[in-house]
Structure 1
């Protein structure tokens, strides 16, 4: 029997071990979902909403335990870990708040002799493939609206965070969700690919790498099912000459280094107007140099390890190559006692003298490093921000909202921020362009991707 092992980045111990699902178990889960979904779809929406709200309350009640598990599974500092459960609650409750309006029939203007409407029907069974970096926040984006729309859900979580899937399914069952409507499976990559091909699956929501997204598209080719793909990012920030420098430094640096930089919408490139560049670098280096890198179960730690030693080595290689090509490192790694090659512990780094020929400015780093470049004006900043294969979010720090709107209209990304970054507002559509993926979660628009329209054209008898 194949097993998954969650190796904790804290001490490289085996934190969780689980058997992978065998083909009979996978088939049984598909059959159970297909059998349970029609009755769930007929359940009044108010009852579905009530179950979701009860599940949210149960998640909040368990947030201390869930936060500790997150800390050990993926290395989130314990002081921040419970915040993910609060974010889960915010998104789930918002999607419940708007469910009635978002899923209501669309009534067309009256036409004599006819009744015309468009009904939003659930797709069937949704497969949600969730990652480890924000395991609850990424899963809730797809799981909760899929359930509220009347779909059954099968959740496949990363091998790094298997307890998240188990906890979510357990909580929803305790909240009263009927058996079979929401299940989890621990799967190998091959069986995940086979599940995408399964005829019982009508929708796939995948969050992960570009390579993983391509796998999903290949596996689903010719099936004509809906796919939501949230993939990589190399998100930029631009600090205009009129920006509040204190705020811009604090916000952009937090957006770059929170969760040790392991965020798809974290800031990985910063372009600063040349009049502010040197002061920005000085202030930013002061903040980054003061981080406490350590074991995430230590409440004083505010910068934890990366998820795996291999991930830390990847970022080190980007940094080393950039320095060899002429970049300047502003943080001395020797000041971080836990920084050791061959481990997941990596000192943060801030680089200047970088350009787009360097991997650290092109490839997704997914670690505690950011490169800064001075720019002359909006035009140069815009060109550099768009010079990427990714397009998830972009942040502009400025006092001029009209300038932000004008620049935002020309940015190739799914979300434009002004004076903030690295945040998902559940009222807004979460989407990306280019290699950041396709589809949409959250907001009322997100429900459109979890339902199909059915038109009713009813002619009255004479």
Structure 2
């Protein structure tokens, strides 16, 4: 009998969906179908691929009214924000479709008499996308649409917590009349996923998840010489300089810290503030944080939903408790958030001061609604603290001095530098990380380079 997978909703702890894992026969059929479909798909003109991929996007957007509450039930984000994920889905997909002709165009060196020389971008074959639950449409579309545009076939293995998202992608592909076998959604356990990676029947794996799982991906891929894109999380810092526009910085950093209950790889998890404005910044930051409404994400009034599981909340509560035991001070009284209940997935937001880098909350990824704030005396001190981390996904600088932001940004070990904004992926820019935040690139024209291989033509036509 095939094993079952249960999706436990963080809303009320009940089973929201139940499905069977794929069996060996289904996996074999999918791998064969993907290879066969890709052999035909790569020969289709780019304009035809674009039309079909655009139809996939249209089909997904047409399901918005069903997707919004479904997403809240699966991973807990308030319904008032769920439609925003589909807007981001569309923005990224449309952009990657639009830039494909330029990104995939042949590169022609300086002409040489008697020769035709060019470098073509060839599809890799089958791309395995392993997507997470926290932004299940956005993270998946980062690879799915450009992989298809580049001439690859795709197999999607979505997180068990958001398994219905994989089904929505499959429905959109079917409604857009994508060729059979070109896009495939599989429910896989860890062993099955590892076996596919090690089978030599997929040529690229793009994974978003934890550092530990990233190591497992690398182990599974050992000896296969396939491409491996890893986005593994972060402990993203923000630096607020003395010349920052204070109200703007507070508003955006509160949102960057607590949107999606802090469950974002690029959430702001630690903030460094110039000591001259530190007291007023902290006061305003805490005051705005107290305005959140923690509760059932299906309620339109809710602005902060539950974490994805009670276990995730236990971890964050543990970080807070450790920090307090080591001398930190909590600025938010959790009893003012009636939905906060120990042992549940519902957790009040927390702002900590008097924190140090000896505390887990300033060092280890929290992935929850907590942030620590420290004063700094100078740019150099801020840079040193921002770089004092095993992660390097994004960092934000809050200042009115563009030159200072560029100078500081050049000193930070990170994949993306923001000025006066945070927690946003611009599809025209490369999304990448350093250190334990991973390797590889999605989005932008550089994202296409990781979904294709170079093929050189050196043609001598005059003898």
The aligned residue for residue 38 of structure 2 is: 37
Partner SS for 1:201: coil
How far apart, CA to CA, are the structure 2 residues paired with 1:10 and 1:460? 68
Q: CA deviation at 1:108?
A: 1.5
Shift of 1:176: 2.0
Find the aligned partners of 1:438 and 1:72 in 2 and give their Cα distance.
32
- Aligned alpha-carbon RMSD (Å): 0.6
Post-superposition offset of 1:28: 0.9
Other-structure match for 1:396? 397
Aligned equivalents of 2:406, 2:80: Cα separation in 1: 36
Query: How many angstroms does 1:60 deviate by?
Result: 1.6
The answer to whether 1:96 aligns with 2:125 is no
The Cα shift of 1:461 comes to 3.4
| Counterpart-to-counterpart distance in 2, 1:391 and 1:139 | 21
- CA offset digits 1:210-252 (Å, max 9, x no partner): 0010000011011111110000100000000100000000011
Residue 8 of structure 2 contacts residue 17 of structure 2 at CA under 8 Å; is this kept in 1? yes
CA distance in 1, matches of 2:101, 2:329: 54
Determine the structure 2 residue equivalent to 1:273.
Answer: 274
**Structure 1 residue aligned with 2:162:** 161
Question: Secondary structure in 1 aligned to 2:280?
Answer: helix
Runs of 4+ in 1 over 6 A off after TM superposition: none
Equivalence for 2:329: 328
Shift of 1:53: 1.1
Cα drift, residue 397 of structure 1: 0.2
Aligned to 1:316: 317
Stretches of structure 2 lacking an aligned partner (at least 5 in a row): none
Looking at structure 2, the residues matched to 300 and 221 of structure 1 have their Cα atoms a distance apart, in angstroms, of 49
Residue in structure 2 matched with residue 215 of structure 1 by the alignment: 216
Contact kept? 2:236, 2:394, Cα under 8 Å:
yes
Structure-2 separation of matches of 1:346 and 1:25? 40
Does 1:255 find its partner at 2:256?
yes
Matched, 1:353 2:354: yes
C-alpha distance in 2 between matches for 1:300 and 1:205 = 36
Structure 1: tracts of 5 or more residues without a match:
none
Residue-by-residue CA offset, 1:264-294 (whole Å, 9 max, x unaligned): 0000000000011110111011111110000
Q: Please list, as runs of the form range in 1=range in 2, the aligned pairs for 1:73-222 lying within 5 A after superposition.
A: 73-222=74-223
Separation (CA, whole Å) in 1 of partners of 2:174 and 2:452 = 23
Q: Is the 8 A contact 2:115 2:462 kept in 1?
A: no
- When structure 1 is superposed on structure 2, of 23-32 and 422-431 the one drifting more is 23-32
Query: Counterpart in 2 of 1:6?
Result: 7
- Using structure 1 for the length normalisation, give the TM-score: 0.99
Cα deviation code 1:14-57 (max 9, x no counterpart): 00101001111111100110111010001110011111111112
Q: Given the alignment of the two structures, is residue 246 of structure 1 paired with residue 234 of structure 2, yes or no? A: no
Distance apart, 1:63 and its partner CA: 1.2
Instruction: Provide the aligned length of Structure 1 versus Structure 2.
Output: 462
Name the CA distance, whole Å, in 1 between partners of 2:188 and 2:459: 46
Quote the Cα distance in structure 2 between the aligned partners of 1:223 and 1:350. 46
Task: For residue 71 of structure 1, give the secondary structure of its aligned residue in structure 2.
Answer: helix
Q: Residue deviations 1:332-388, cap 9 Å, x none? A: 000011101111000110000000000000000000000000000100000000000
Q: Distance in 1 between matches of 2:175 and 2:184?
A: 13
The question of 1:427 aligning with 2:431 is answered: no
Q: Secondary structure at the match of 1:98?
A: helix
**Once structures 1 and 2 are overlaid, which stretch shifts more, 280-289 or 379-388?**
280-289
Deviations 1:127-185 (A, max 9, x none): 00000000000000011100000000000000000010110121022112100000010
State the match for 2:380 in structure 1.
379
Determine if contact 2:211/2:233 at 8 Å carries over to the other structure: yes
Match of 2:297? 296
Taking the aligned partners of 1:187 and 1:436, their CA distance within structure 2 comes to 24
| Counterpart contact for 2:139–2:208, Cα < 8 Å | yes
SS in structure 1 at match of 2:160:
coil
Question: Partners of 1:273 and 1:173 in 2: how far apart?
Answer: 54
